[in-house]
Amino acid sequence: MILVYVDDLIITGNDLQLIKESKNILQQNFKIKDLGELRYFLGIEFLRSSKGILMTQRKYILELISEWGLAGAKPAITPLEQHMKFTTSDYDKHLRKHDDNESDDPQLIDKHVYQRLVGKLLYVAVTRPDISYAVQTLSQFMHDPKQSHLEGALHVVRYLKGRPGLGILLSSKRDCTLRGFCDSDWASCAVTRKSVTGYCMKLGSSLISWKSKKQETISRSTAEAEYRSMASAVAEVIWLVGLLEEMNMKNLLCSWLLLLSISNLSVLNKFNAI
C-alpha cells in the first residue's frame, strides 16, 4: 500500500520484497529520496515498541504551546470547562435586545487568530481523539468568534500541555475484530438544541476511526438521538468493512457495543415495543 500526500509517500505492507520492488519502480520513474523506516510524517511521530506503534504529535503540541505563550500556564484537567455553553453573537443580541448594556463577551477584532488556532487543534485531533468534542464545538464559531471562544480554545491547549505525549497505539497483536462504540448528547447545543453524535471504531485493540459531530436534525427525545447516533456509526462500519475487504482482511468479525445510560435503556425498550 502506498499513501500519497502531495510529494510525500509512505509505503507499507506485510511483504518486504514487494515493498523493495515498489521502491525500485518509483526510483526508475521519479526522482525520490528514501528516508528509511518511518519515524516522522507531517508533524506526526511514530514510535515503535513490542506493544505496537505509537502515533503522537508531541513536538507539534509543544510548538503550539510555545507559540501561544502558555509554557508557564497551569495545565487544564478537562478539554473544556464543565457545563460551559458557547453561543453565537446573534443569539446574545437576541437575549439582550431590551438591554442597553454592552456585552461582557465581545467579538474578536481579528478573527483570523481564532481560526488559525482552531485549525491547528483540528490537526492535533488526528492523534488526540480526547479533544474531538471540544474542537468540533469550537469550530462552529469560526465565522464570528467571540472572546469566550478564544478562551475555550486556549483552554484546550492548556489541556494538551498536561499530557503532550499522549497518542494512538496501533497494537502489534493480530486481531481483526471490528468493534464500534457510539453515544449521543441530547440537545447539547444551546443555540439550536441539536444533539451531538459520538462514535469510535476499533480494529482489535487499535483505534482506527472516531467522530464527534452535531446531528443534522433536532431529536425530540433521547431515544431518537441515540438511534440517529447508531445510524451514523453503522454507516461508518459499512465503509470500514468495505475498505478492509479491499485490503484482503477477509476473516473480519463485527461486534457491536452501544454505550447508553441506564435511564435511556428503558426508553429504548419502550420505543422498540411500539
pLDDT per residue as tens digits for the range 149-183: 999 999 999 999 999 999 999 888 887 788 888 88
> How distant, in Å, are the alpha carbons of 13, 43, 118 from that of 140?
38, 25, 10
Q: What is the largest CA-CA distance in the chain?
A: 74
Q: What is the pLDDT of residue 102?
A: 56
Give me the helices (H) in 43-199, please.
58-67, 89-95, 111-124, 132-138, 147-162
- The per-residue pLDDT for range 242-256, each reduced to its tens digit, is 888 887 775 554 444
The arithmetic mean of pLDDT across residues 68-86, rounded, is: 88
Q: How far is Cα 111 from Cα 108, in angstroms, rounded to an integer?
A: 6
> How distant, in Å, are the alpha carbons of 76, 85, 260 from that of 104?
24, 15, 38
146 vs 89, which has greater pLDDT? 146
Confidence of residue 30 (pLDDT cuts 50, 70, 90): confident
